[in-house]
Amino acid sequence: MSSGRVPRHARVRLIAAVATVCALSAAPLAPRAAAADTPPYSETYRPQFHFTPDKNWMNDPNGLVHYKGEYHLFFQYNPNGNTWGDMSWGHAVSTDLVHWKQLPLALSYDDKEMVFSGSAVVDWHNTSGFGTPTNPPMVAIYTSYLKNTGRQAQSLAYSTDRGRTWTKYQGNPVLDIGSTDFRDPKVQWYAPTKSWLMTVSLSAEHKVRFYSSRNLKDWTPLSEFGPAGATGGVWECPDLFPLAVDGDKKNIKWVLVVNINPGGITGGSGAQYFVGDFDGKRFTAQDQGTYTPPAGTVVQNFESDGYGTWTTTGTAFGEGPAAGALAGQGAVDGFEGKGLANSFHAGDGTTGTLTSPEFTVDRPYLNFKVGGGRHPHEAGTVLERGAAPDGTVLADFEGGTYGAWTTTGDAFGTAPATGTLPNQQQVTGWLGDGLVDTYLNGDSTTGTLTSPEFTIDKDYIDFLIGGGNHPVGRANPTAVELLVDGKVVRSATGQDDEALNWASWDVRDLAGKKAQIKIVDDNTGGWGHLNVDRITLSDTRAQPVSRETSVNLVVDGQVVRSATGSDSETLDWASFDMRPWAGKKARIQIVDMNTGGWGHILADQFTAADAPAKSAVQRADWADYGKDYYAAVSWENTPGDKRYMIGWMNDWEYGGAIPTSPWRSAQSVPREMALRTVDGRIRLTSEPVSSLASLRQGDASSAADVTVTNGSRPLIGPAAEGKALDIEATFSLRDAERFGLKVRTGAGQETVIGYDTTTQELYVDRTRSGAVDFSSAFPGVQRAPLQAKDGKVKLRVLVDWSSVEVFGGSGEAVITDQIFPDPAAQGVQVFAENGSVNLERARVRHLGSYRY
């Protein structure tokens, strides 16, 4: 995001996206930090050749410009802590885009504004008047987040000493349209009109707007672009630049990069792009044509009056298909024919399921259309709440008192609540007659409630929790904390929902320890309260009730595939890969277990087919297909007119929870961008900057003509193992279904970088990559379309202490993922599954640190 976001609706969406059933941390909350005397930049997960600040929170790259031999990297930065807040511009410089030196804070927040994302230019002709013709100023154009109004406007700051010190313009803001979603200006000199061109985001409208100025102070609107492509989240951090197609300077196309969150190719943050033409006023994207899904056999199209042999539970789906929108619902579109499944009957407050008869899986794919709420299926949840787990009840809040528990503040009152409090939405899901409810006198009250000390003598601590989603680690939490030796080792928060649900901490590693439970309400804003009940030491893990709005494929009673909506009443195509269950019995189950906002699901046109349908998100173009490449923007004024781009190597789904300290977040390796014709289409490609070679240490380790069949083996040997590597590999296809490399192997961990010949996809599987349990959104497999060329697949893999960046083919398929492996996991292997592959050649180089 442009700033990490302020406490408003987008911020709430961000936090909700991170939440599981109760946004609980199943692993110790404290990051795995190095010992106090560990030298800086040698901490467990500290990147060695990716820029990180010495300490504190960082997100978007800003102000990328080259001036007097230096590449400037400004970045969103919190000078006061390791979580998002007090947004300012940090600053680093490099002479080669590889070796970085951090400088003092450039632009600071103050009592009136936070300094959100933007860009910087060299005002060569002193059009702004901030410098002189002989000493042209550097001018930063940034978004002011105005604290008193919540509005976002564009402002200026300038420097006349190579960016070392900055002065904010007294006439700020220079562009204010009265919006709370108007941000991230990218400014450049547009030579044909001898004027400045601004590309800026109207984020909630899924648009960018272009402005022109002669002096950087007075701006005239030119045109708008969008909505287009992926629109499942806010549009942020736009960029616009020209590139020659296939190196032909007579064939110039323009690239418009629009970062989106959520709704990227992996569901969270992502960097999409459009290729087209720009005439000085208007950007026109190339026509992608209309989309026709693969043909197949229709299983269910909801064209009958009833559901036929499909069965319902609950009331959400009514007696039969809907003909479109239901009472109180916005316009519904994108469905086929006259009917669809729509669980908005009587609004979002109803729940239920719609289930198909059992059928035999006899086609490779099940394609369908889906819309409605974005509430994914969570593994381990159940559709109906069972009995409370047996065990030692630490507190059930019955009897009208808190017993030996102690309170501070005024949020908890003198006794437990007996239900919903005045002016509160209805509270549900607690047991018995009493519960903790800190909505006493509204969200403005704060306080703590702390248990007596107890001994952990069972495997789990189970409890019911609801209320606000303000996790520990962020400002002003609403959370249940487990304290051991006075330190928080587990925590959980609500999900912005008054319905209490089960949460569970696995505490087997803490057996025999003395502990306390502390319930914290430190929040006075929206959803600034917490509901808690029935805290139990148990040998049984409590199973939370599902809150999903999803379409599921159920095999042997287990959900094996799932899709959800994108908080939209427009249905779009989705697809289940059914091949692993060929010949098995299966059911389709459409589930609405959510009673909050967007608590409904839409579905239509279930079709068995031989090829997968693609959603608008999948049909969009992406600069990177990984989870951790966002806010991607490029440098201006570079030598030789090269186009270098960098992205924030994190994701808003879990960005504040990654286990790093005393810093949080890294930037990607800078990449040289190009437009190439790939498979008949013009694609934006990228490769690591060539100067990365300056970090190579020692001689390369090589391998050639290695055949692997149905297994794994060391790629080369101990000389090619390590935590910071540059690997190049070329594979010749044989009959293996999947093949590739495994990196950071050891200690029961591995990060798999593979190629799937059946889907023609590059993929990264980080489900066993090390620490993955700090967020349910973190583990998983990321995929990028990649066709083999002349029967070969080429990979370049950059492995750092806490990341992998994978470049496939000519750089048209790129996947960037964070990983948090054990330091001892340093192995590199080559593998093949269901057949053989030939590793034609491979070369591994060790990389050193970027620090000056």
How confident is the model over 176-211, as pLDDT tens digits? 999 999 999 999 999 999 999 999 999 999 999 999
Calculate the average pLDDT of the chain: 93
The mean per-residue pLDDT over the stretch 662-688 comes to 96
Pairing outcome for strands 392-395 and 530-538: antiparallel
CB 148 within 8 A of CB 112: yes
In this predicted structure, the answer to whether residue 709 has a pLDDT above a threshold of 70 is yes
CB 177 within 8 A of CB 147: no
Tell me the C-alpha distance between 8 and 19, whole Å: 17
What are the backbone angles phi and psi of residue 733, rounded to the nearest 5°? Answer: -65, 140
CB 287 within 8 A of CB 716: no
Report residue 755 as tokens: 């190629």
752: nearest Cα among 815, 697, 675: 815
Residue 700 to residues 692, 711, 753, 842, 846: CA-CA distances in angstroms? 15, 25, 20, 10, 8
Question: Would you call 708 helix, strand, or coil by DSSP?
Answer: strand
Q: How many Cβ atoms from other residues are within 10 Å of residue 580's Cβ?
A: 10
Catalytic residue among 54, 60, 277, 641, which? Answer: 60
* pLDDT digit string, tens, across residues 486-534: 999 999 999 888 999 999 999 999 999 999 999 999 999 889 999 999 9
In this predicted structure, the answer to whether residue 94 has a pLDDT above a threshold of 50 is yes
User: Using the 8-state DSSP alphabet, how is residue 474 labeled?
Assistant: B
In this predicted structure, the answer to whether residue 644 has a pLDDT above a threshold of 50 is yes
* pLDDT digit string, tens, across residues 274-308: 999 999 999 999 988 899 999 999 999 999 999 99
Measured in whole angstroms, the distance separating CA 477 from the mean position of its chain's CA atoms is 21
pLDDT at position 684 is 98
488: nearest Cα among 514, 466, 518: 518
In this predicted structure, the answer to whether residue 729 has a pLDDT above a threshold of 50 is yes
pLDDT at position 475 is 75
Tell me the C-alpha distance between 719 and 356, whole Å: 55
In this predicted structure, the answer to whether residue 6 has a pLDDT above a threshold of 60 is no
H helix intervals, 604-724? 616-619
Q: To the nearest 10°, the Cα dihedral for 714, 720, 724, 729?
A: -70
Q: To the nearest 10°, the Cα dihedral for 309, 310, 313, 319?
A: -80
Tell me the C-alpha distance between 428 and 726, whole Å: 54
In this predicted structure, the answer to whether residue 355 has a pLDDT above a threshold of 60 is yes
CB burial class (10 A; 0-12, 13-18, 19+) of residue 557?
Answer: exposed
Residue showing tokens 């290695």: 706
Tell me the C-alpha distance between 233 and 268, whole Å: 9
The mean per-residue pLDDT over the stretch 337-343 comes to 97
Tell me the C-alpha distance between 90 and 57, whole Å: 10
CA angle, 788 as apex, 782 and 789 as ends, to 5°?
A: 145
Tell me the C-alpha distance between 443 and 289, whole Å: 50
Residue type, 688: P
The mean per-residue pLDDT over the stretch 150-175 comes to 98
pLDDT at position 378 is 87
The mean per-residue pLDDT over the stretch 112-132 comes to 97
* pLDDT digit string, tens, across residues 587-611: 999 999 998 889 999 999 999 999 9
Residue 753 pairs with which residues in a beta bridge? 741, 764
pLDDT at position 852 is 66
* pLDDT digit string, tens, across residues 423-443: 999 999 999 999 999 999 999
pLDDT at position 37 is 56
CB 208 within 8 A of CB 202: yes
pLDDT at position 832 is 98
Tell me the C-alpha distance between 542 and 373, whole Å: 26
Q: To the nearest 10°, the Cα dihedral for 96, 97, 98, 104?
A: 100
Give a three-class secondary structure readout of 344-399: CCCCCCCCEEEECCCEECCCCEEEEEEEECCECCCCCCECCCCCCCCCEEEECCCC
pLDDT at position 107 is 98
CA angle, 364 as apex, 359 and 367 as ends, to 5°?
A: 80
CB 86 within 8 A of CB 64: no
Tell me the C-alpha distance between 72 and 64, whole Å: 6
H helix intervals, 680-831? none
User: Using the 8-state DSSP alphabet, how is residue 653 labeled?
Assistant: T
User: Which residues lie closer than 8 Å to 265 by C-beta, 6 or more apart?
Assistant: 230, 272, 617, 618, 620, 622, 625
535: nearest Cα among 451, 468, 642: 451
CA angle, 296 as apex, 290 and 300 as ends, to 5°?
A: 100
In this predicted structure, the answer to whether residue 698 has a pLDDT above a threshold of 70 is yes
Give a three-class secondary structure readout of 475-506: CCCEEEEEEECCEEEEEEECCCEEEEEEEEEE
Residue type, 778: F
Find the largest Cα–Cα distance for the chain.
Answer: 82
* pLDDT digit string, tens, across residues 303-331: 999 999 999 999 999 999 999 999 999 99
pLDDT at position 28 is 35
183: part of which helix (H) or strand (E)?
strand 182-190
CB 562 within 8 A of CB 549: no
What are the backbone angles phi and psi of residue 13, rounded to the nearest 5°? Answer: -60, -40
Q: To the nearest 10°, the Cα dihedral for 79, 83, 87, 91?
A: 50
pLDDT at position 38 is 63
Residue 277 annotated among the catalytic residues of the structure: no
Rg (CA), the chain: 27
Report residue 88 as tokens: 């300012």
Tell me the C-alpha distance between 804 and 627, whole Å: 11
